Amino acid sequence: MTAQQSSTAPVGSGEDQFPAGAQVFVRDEVWLVRNSVRTEHDGAKVDVVGVSDFVRDQEAVFFTGLDSIELIDPSRTKLVRDESSNFRRSRLFLEAVLRKTALPQSERRLALADSFLLDPLPYQRRPAELALSGRNLRPRLLIADVVGLGKTLEIGLTLAELIRRGRGERILVVTPQHVLEQFQHELWTRFAIPLVRLDSVGIERIQREIPAGRNPFTYFKRVIVSIDTLKNTDQYKHHLERINWDAVVIDESHNLINRGSLRNQLAQILAPRTDALILASATPHNGDAKSFAELISLLDPAAIRDPEHYRAEDIEHLFIRRTKVSPEVREQMKGQWADRGPSQSVRCAATPAEEKIFEELAAVWLPGANGTSVSGVPLFPYTLLKSFLSSHAALKATVTARIKTLEKKDEPTATRAELAALRTLQELVTPLTEADSAKFTALVEQLKAIGVGPKSDARVVVFSERVQTLEWLRTVLPTALGFRGRAAEESTRVMHGGLSDEQQMQCVEDFGLADAPVRILLTGDVASEGVNLHRQCHQLVHYDVPWSLIRIEQRNGRIDRYGQAHQPQFRALILTSEVEGAKDDTVVAERLLEREDQAHRALGTAEAVTGLYRAEAEEKSLIQDLLRGRTVDESLDARRAEAEADAAMDDFLADFFGSVGDAEPGAEDAGRPDADPRDAYGNGAGASAPGEASASTGNAAVPRLFTSTAEFLDEALREVFPDATTSLDLHRDTESGLLSFRPPTDLVHRLKALPLDYVREQRLRERLLVTFNRRLADHSLKRARESSTSSWPEISLLTDLHPVVEWLTDKVLVRLGRQEALIVTADVPEPTYLVQGVYSNALGRPTVVKWMGVTQRGTVEDDMVGLLRRSGVGPTMANPMRHSEPATALEAGIPDALAAAERFLDRHRDAWDEPLRKPIDDYKARLGDWEQPTLAGERTKKSLASLADSLLTTGRPLLRVLAVLVPDPEASAPAPSTA
């Protein structure tokens, strides 16, 4: 098969490539390729949209193993003269092809980072840079930044870059249920990446709509689903095992560690079935080297040879971690993130009724060193104590539940004393009301001091570990603050793990809308991981304090996070007692509060203080130490000393919980002697369009014919919809940059990928409001948060990934007929063919992309954009409507031009391939040293070696004629004689 023939070779040959933007002939119709990937059993999977009349704008998927897919033969390209004004049709077509072509594997720099609705913070670009750096075989990464630094934004940037490289068509995002909508909202409003939310209700709806037995995860290309829904592996395992993803994101990934758990089983299913894998967690380590190695093995099974003995440097290419005090973060966040205020202890002297309970607990349940507890379960007295320190409502519930448990036992005699003591507590606690609660009185005083009330917009989040405390506060707090009637009901929301995912997401959304009447969010620790509560709030009250430094920090991180405009303020209600031996809040809670504050200011995180790295482990260890008679400080210091005494882990933990990754990724490669000074396309810095970032800024020098996406879209609208004012009811606000139009049917069809709530609430099927003006889009986003009806912005920012831009790009491409290329009159000395050359690997991904100009004499220049500019091709060029030679004569030169282009590519292939080959060879060398004693391990080793080989360039290049530049016959003709 020659370079000029259509591609029908078997998958893996390197000659079965179907690049985005190319046209193919399938089932007697012409289609435009959107994406192509190799599958395990059915050949290449080719996503297309219809071009020919019968299938125009219809979406379809074909497989080379099932269908005959004919790539249009470039040697048979038909040349058509461009008679549009200023050669607009040609310029648009060339730009569309440039945009649709995936960036090659060799392009490590970011291409889109500056085009999104984000603050320009280099530290947030770093995860994407590391994922693309080539230091790992695939884009796989653990983002372990501490609470509040913007992990969702870092994930969004990474996904956007993968999409631009053709490696993000199929995306699965897995999060805790209460952050589903928040994550979905951020990725759309910031990056224009739509994710269809498949919560429990969403999956049920999809399964009702699709044919029985069909995989619901193939119905949409990019989805977000709750881990609590998806972990039901019995129900979804067979669906998940039949689908491969381009990218999988798992948020709060520390929950995956426990082998055998449902979450771990889910991760084991997904990890080998995705190319890119992004794990995110602010608390990724549980203090056990082997458990953490298991998490890392999801990213790269061969990264760690000995799971019990390894160092941070062994896996530094797989994870990144910064804190708020990391130098790069601290420097870049100056003036953009207010320093947190001190953690204020609000002491509340116990009421007489509460002192009686303290007396009973001290005398019967928690006696001093020489006493004996009435309970036969050592830890249960502390459960009682913590319940009481939360509220009388929580204590009553704990006592009642314990009585029921003991009454069911076969030997009541053994528990008679405990039952009697429980009933005494029950008698003491049952009559208590809010008037008997010192903490409740103090809470009301504090909230009034903050300004929370019927005539104020001030908001506060109140945390408690106990559901009974939260529900009790909901009934009594609004009235105590002066709310009456319906206002009392609307002023307060309660969120805890007992609510459905829809209810939890609604609580978070209501609290984040400025015009919503909610003023108080009463929440349990379900909101301490991942939830943004800082939009309208900078006040937080710990009604009870968790006995874990990690949990305190996680709670505080809900309002102390990137984007917080005001200084976060923290208060903790500390119940005090005069009873001798009483273990009130000054014994544990107040001291933990102080230690967390100290650790945060000194280290940026409190996670490493105890060396336990898990909230549950911290609390259990602390209670056991209290039983031994240790103080809180003695317990914390002892745990840390034990961790440091473990020589095998000391170096690793010191590195991991420091600011890992402060060095700029890729910096070590800057001075490499083999570094190519030209960009991934062989172009110099001049390949960047005016106004576009050049390679010197650290951004990818992506070739562009138009100066901006805005200019391209404007020209495309004029070309595709010359009567847009009528046909689209298009309105432009030239001052603000707002575009408003009625989407046609084919665009409405694409909107099915957008969040359903967003489409419905903003009535997008009737009218779209879009803009390139970042300030306007940001204002719309802020205004949405001030709305009482929807958090979705009315106006969306047009990025390169936006469905409107993709739709218009496809519209431009399909306007050119099958196997056609355009003739452009330009300032060239001889006919010059514009040729695209693409080398790919066995997976069908481009490794090298070249944009060439080939003259009739066979001279090749690999800077097509530079050639076009020098030839005068641009928006101000005139179309003289003059032709130097017939199209048929130019067509006759196509085979020779293609042959010259292939010879040029072949000469330089090894040099272009070297930067790709070296990291792959290095990985295979490490893999060779990886000893595997088990058969399963050997299979994994062979699979990884095969994957490494599949990433190398293979086969011959795919060539495509895009246009031909011809000289103006009058400009080149001799001047007429004056004789």
Q: Examine the pLDDT at 667 and tell me if it is beyond 70.
A: no
pLDDT for residue 711: 95
Q: Examine the pLDDT at 465 and tell me if it is beyond 50.
A: yes
Q: Examine the pLDDT at 958 and tell me if it is beyond 60.
A: yes
DSSP-derived pairing of the beta strands 23-26 and 29-38? antiparallel
C-alpha triplet 238, 244, 246: angle, nearest 5°: 150
> What is the Cα–Cα distance from 402 to 391, expressed in whole angstroms?
17
> What is the Cα–Cα distance from 545 to 585, expressed in whole angstroms?
8
212-216, 300-304, 752-756: range with lowest mean pLDDT: 212-216
- For residue 76, give the nearest of 937, 926, 818 by alpha carbon: 818
Residue-wise pLDDT for 841-863, tens only, equals 877 788 999 999 999 999 999 99
Residues 6+ apart with CB under 8 A from 340: 556, 560, 567, 568, 570, 600
> What is the Cα–Cα distance from 31 to 818, expressed in whole angstroms?
9
Q: Examine the pLDDT at 292 and tell me if it is beyond 90.
A: no
**pLDDT, the chain, mean:** 85
Centre a 10 Å sphere on the Cβ of residue 872 and count the other Cβ atoms it contains: 17
Collapsed DSSP state (helix, strand, coil) of residue 768: strand
> What is the Cα–Cα distance from 361 to 583, expressed in whole angstroms?
9
> What is the Cα–Cα distance from 418 to 166, expressed in whole angstroms?
66
- For residue 114, give the nearest of 958, 863, 774, 770 by alpha carbon: 774
**b/e map 115-127, b = 16+ CB within 10 Å:** bbbbeebebbbbb
Over residues 721-732, mean pLDDT: 95
pLDDT for residue 846: 87
> What is the Cα–Cα distance from 74 to 7, expressed in whole angstroms?
11
> What is the Cα–Cα distance from 942 to 937, expressed in whole angstroms?
9
DSSP state string for 532-548? ---SS--EEEESS--S-
Task: Look at 182 and 644; give whichever has higher pLDDT.
Answer: 182
Q: Examine the pLDDT at 690 and tell me if it is beyond 70.
A: no
Residue-wise pLDDT for 258-288, tens only, equals 777 888 889 999 999 999 999 999 888 776 7
Given a contact cutoff of 8 angstroms between Cβ atoms, the answer to whether 879 and 86 are in contact is: yes
Residue 764: both structure tokens together: 């997008």
Q: Examine the pLDDT at 130 and tell me if it is beyond 80.
A: yes
* H helix runs in 451-538, sequence order: 467-480, 485-490, 501-512
Task: For the chain, give the percent of residues with pLDDT over 90.
Answer: 48
C-alpha triplet 815, 817, 823: angle, nearest 5°: 90
11-25, 432-446, 590-604, 828-842: range with lowest mean pLDDT: 11-25
Sole residue written with tokens 């390169």: 800
Over residues 63-84, mean pLDDT: 90
Collapsed DSSP state (helix, strand, coil) of residue 883: coil
C-alpha triplet 90, 95, 97: angle, nearest 5°: 100
Residue-wise pLDDT for 784-818, tens only, equals 877 767 789 999 999 999 999 999 999 999 888 87
> What is the Cα–Cα distance from 581 to 579, expressed in whole angstroms?
6
Centre a 10 Å sphere on the Cβ of residue 3 and count the other Cβ atoms it contains: 20
Q: Examine the pLDDT at 133 and tell me if it is beyond 70.
A: yes
Confidence of residue 536 (pLDDT cuts 50, 70, 90): confident
Question: What's the one-letter identity of residue 877?
Answer: M
DSSP-derived pairing of the beta strands 569-576 and 343-349? parallel
> What is the Cα–Cα distance from 304 to 313, expressed in whole angstroms?
11
Q: Examine the pLDDT at 671 and tell me if it is beyond 50.
A: no
**b/e map 12-22, b = 16+ CB within 10 Å:** bebbbbbbbbb
Confidence of residue 410 (pLDDT cuts 50, 70, 90): low
Collapsed DSSP state (helix, strand, coil) of residue 412: helix
> What is the Cα–Cα distance from 828 to 965, expressed in whole angstroms?
7
Residue 342: both structure tokens together: 């001190």
232-241, 293-302, 840-849: range with lowest mean pLDDT: 232-241
Confidence of residue 430 (pLDDT cuts 50, 70, 90): very high
pLDDT for residue 677: 33
Confidence of residue 190 (pLDDT cuts 50, 70, 90): very high
pLDDT for residue 898: 96
Centre a 10 Å sphere on the Cβ of residue 358 and count the other Cβ atoms it contains: 24
DSSP state string for 326-338? SHHHHHHTTTTSP
Given a contact cutoff of 8 angstroms between Cβ atoms, the answer to whether 449 and 403 are in contact is: no
Confidence of residue 886 (pLDDT cuts 50, 70, 90): confident
Q: Examine the pLDDT at 643 and tell me if it is beyond 70.
A: no
Question: What's the one-letter identity of residue 315?
Answer: I
Q: Examine the pLDDT at 741 and tell me if it is beyond 50.
A: yes
pLDDT for residue 511: 87
Given a contact cutoff of 8 angstroms between Cβ atoms, the answer to whether 21 and 88 are in contact is: no
Q: Which helix (H) or strand (E) holds 527?
A: none
Task: Look at 3 and 251; give whichever has higher pLDDT.
Answer: 251
Q: Model's pTM, two decimal places? A: 0.82
> What is the Cα–Cα distance from 286 to 178, expressed in whole angstroms?
23
**b/e map 479-496, b = 16+ CB within 10 Å:** ebbbbeeeebeebbbbbb
Residue-wise pLDDT for 143-184, tens only, equals 999 888 899 999 999 999 999 998 998 999 999 888 888 899
pLDDT for residue 106: 85
pLDDT for residue 336: 73
pLDDT for residue 53: 57
